[in-house]
A and B are shown apart, each in its own frame.
Chain A
Amino acid sequence: MSDIQEATNQLLDVNLHENQRSVQVTESDLRSESELLVTIGATVPTGFEQTAADEVREKLGSSCKISRDRGKIYFVISVESLAQVHCLRSVDNLFVVVQEFQDYQFKKTKEEVLKDFEDLAGKLPWSDPLKVWKINTSFKKKKIKRKKINQNSSKEKIDNGKDNKIDETGIKKEFPDNALDSHILDYYENPAIKEEISTLVGDDLASCKDETDESTKQETEPQVLKFRVTCNRAGEKHCFTSNEAARDFGGAVQDYFKWKADMTNFDVELLVESLHLGSSLSSRLCDPLPYDIIVDPMCGTGAIPIEGATEWSDCYHIAGDNNPLAVNRAANNISSLLTKSQIKEGKPSWGLPIDAVQWDICNLPLRTGSVDIIVTDLPFGKRMGSKKRNWNLYPACLREMGRVCTPATGRAVLLTQDTKCFTKALSGMRHVWRKVDTVWVNIGGLRAAVYVLGRTPQTFVHPSEQDGERGTPW
């Protein structure tokens, strides 16, 4: 720790994966530095995960685990290969994974959760990732020198998280001779899935100093690192806020390492991530065809349809909820998404194929058989609704969803924690829905399931259109 020198930003990453399907855990337990293995995470543009994984296999000989959420891949390399990592062209930001927790169980109360975060700081296996980080900074110093010569060369699309940062607007910032360009570290794009606690533009004066002071710097003098913590708390179903988590974790790190906290002028960024795979997983499981009409009838703040409109922009998405606050927030999230995409891609268009409606799931104001796909998170018994309510709610939902869904070709992807209630409700609807797949997941420490259902060919006939006696609508 004593020899760590100031350098440009790099991220140390603590991943709290809440889904069993996510990537492997890794910790380096080898002593000798030449054999030191490390897990590197890399962000890639969404959709390019496989391409990046192929490149990693080709150039580094490592296989990748692809995170199903938000364009990230992970791979293990020996430290000797670190230089080659910087040659990857299909990745954006690089970070070293400190530890990953699968099936991390969040405690029930806020106090307990935050206490856990505090304790976490002291328990993490920091030494090897920090070693790697230190080695990496020596690469960056060489890079900085090279980069200054190439300052005026054409726009480099890929940046390795340190030097040629291209910010969200896609415009490369101009910089004066002796300063490096601004680092934009807000690279999460979906406002509905995560809570942004900090966006920043920070001039990296630290690296600048490196250049000028290098000759005079005493290398043996211990440097106090400046750091900040960003907490990405995906999903809305948590009892704590990102700010609180960042503050408590950050406080503990500060005590442990004696680093200084600095929001704008930092050397190291610690990223605490909680990946909520609910919306992402559900969206991917429904596997929409182009030009499908996709509805989330209990959209909350609209995470699923908003992700859908971004991923599958050749489908039409409708987000609905009975709660006016939820629907308004969904509409706001849609607007901010539009604004971002407008700026980012420089396109004149600023509409997306998505709408929001306020409605009741048990009485959907939609034409019979008009919807191709229904994707939603059903209310969790313990958190949102009550278990007793679900006994009535689930069958009514399934009936109404069955009515609006296109017979034979329609499908539904439904996430729920109340699997017992759901299974019972489904058993009474076999003439409408058949079970295609069940995926077990872990959301916020709770066991849940995603049910993929196919609509049977059975059509729905309104009682008023039936001849004679009052039959059932099916």
Chain B
Amino acid sequence: MKLLTHNLLSSHVRGVGPRGFPLRLEATEVRINPVEFNPQFVARMIPKVEWAALLEAADTLHLIEVPKEPIQGYEHDEDFLRKMHHILLEVDVLEGTLQCPESGRLFPISRGIPNMLLSDEETES
């Protein structure tokens, strides 16, 4: 699971709604995969990213320091873009858990795949 995916994932336990984001990440196994750097891709993903969630996740994984917010003129700052590229796309969480911040429910990550299935009682419907 890449951190860009983590940034899109949210808990759907009944009743939590938007408070199910962000999922608290814990990783026991992480792999770094080199990915081809595409600066425009990174620049265009940044506005879609929930920054605080990304900061928290990067921090948990002890990654290189992420700025508190996107710096001015980030679109042309290659250094910044490369850092973000690495964090968003090259860090793969293979084993770990995601925790719903509201309900505490744990979702396992195994072989890089988060299992977000809930039992019928837990779901919204």
Contact = CB atoms under 8 A, between A and B. Distances in A.
Partners in one complex: yes
Interface of A: 290-291, 293, 314, 316, 318, 322, 324, 327-328, 331, 347-353, 355-360, 362-368, 370-371, 396, 462-465
B97 interface: no
Task: Give the one of B1, B8, B12, B20 with max A CB within 10 A.
Answer: B8
Contacts of A360: 116-118, 123
Contacts of B11: 365
Given A355-B5, A370-B48, A348 B34 contact: yes
B15 interface: yes
B28 interface: no
Contacts of B90: 351
B64 interface: no
B112 interface: yes
A357 B5 contact: yes
Given A347-B36, A348-B34, A365 B116 contact: yes
A463 B38 CA distance: 39
B45 A316 contact: yes
A365 B21 CA distance: 10
B115 interface: yes
B9 interface: yes
Secondary structure type dominating chain B contacts: mixed
Contacts of B111: 328, 331
Given A331-B112, A356-B112, A358-B114, A366 B9 contact: yes
A367 B9 CA distance: 6
B33 A351 contact: yes
Contacts of A370: 8, 48
Contacts of A322: 117
B32 to A, nearest CB: 9
B116 A357 contact: yes
A316 B4 contact: yes
Interface of B: 1-2, 4-5, 8-12, 15, 17-21, 33-36, 38, 40-41, 44-45, 48, 50, 89-90, 92, 107, 111-118, 123-125
Contacts of B45: 291, 316
A357 B113 CA distance: 5
Contacts of A331: 111-113
A465 B114 contact: no
Contacts of B117: 322, 358-360
A349 B34 contact: yes
Contacts of B92: 351
Nearest to B5: A355
B41 A291 contact: yes
Given A366-B10, A370-B48, A462 B18 contact: yes
Given A322-B117, A349-B34, 11 more contacts: A291-B40, A347-B36, A350-B33, A351-B34, A351-B89, A351-B92, A356-B113, A363-B124, A367-B8, A367-B21, A462-B18
A322 B11 CA distance: 15
A85 to B, nearest CB: 36
Nearest to B123: A363
A462 B118 CA distance: 19
Contacts of A293: 8, 48
A314 B89 CA distance: 12
A328 B113 contact: yes
A352 B92 CA distance: 11
9 contacts: A331-B112, A349-B34, A351-B90, A353-B35, A353-B89, A355-B4, A359-B116, A362-B123, A366-B8
Contact of B1 (A316, A350, A355, A462): A355
Contacts of A352: 35
A352 B41 CA distance: 13
Contacts of B116: 357-360, 365
A251 to B, nearest CB: 41
Nearest to A292: B44
B8 to A, nearest CB: 5
Minimum-distance CB pairs A-B, first 3 = A462-B17, A351-B35, A351-B33
Nearest to A399: B125
Nearest to B98: A365
A183 B76 CA distance: 47
Nearest to B32: A351
A291 B33 CA distance: 20
Contact of A357 (B1, B18, B38, B125): B1
Nearest to A315: B41
Given A291-B45, A348-B34, A363-B125, A463 B115 contact: no
